Amino acid sequence: MAEQLNRNTQDNQLSESEARREEVLAEVRQTVSGFTGVQQKICILIMQGYPHHEIRKMLQLPETTYFRHFAKIRETFKKNPIFFKNGGSK
């Protein structure tokens, strides 16, 4: 009986975790879809784990241009409370 309750609790927690993951992924997709083409590429490469210097090189972007795009991406995500609980407040 206790084993069944424990299993149900774990399944419930997993389901909640999966639901939260799907919610966040949907929000990421929606947020990224509002970016320019270059910003979308930067986002995708960041999510794939590439460092800034490699992304700049791949996209052939000057440093100032890259970081201007990066700042806009970061600002947009920080404004969304789903990604930052306090809405990006420092």
Split at pLDDT 50, 70, 90, the class of 70 is very high
Gap between the Cα atoms of 81 and 13, Å rounded: 22
Q: Is the pLDDT of residue 86 over 70?
A: no
Specify the pLDDT at position 82.
Answer: 83
- pTM for the model stands at 0.72
Specify the pLDDT at position 21.
Answer: 87
pLDDT one-digit tens code per residue, 49-66: 999 999 999 999 999 999
Specify the pLDDT at position 32.
Answer: 93
Give per-residue burial for 41-71: e unless 16+ CB within 10 Å, then b: bbbebeeeeeeeeebbeeeebeeeebeebbe
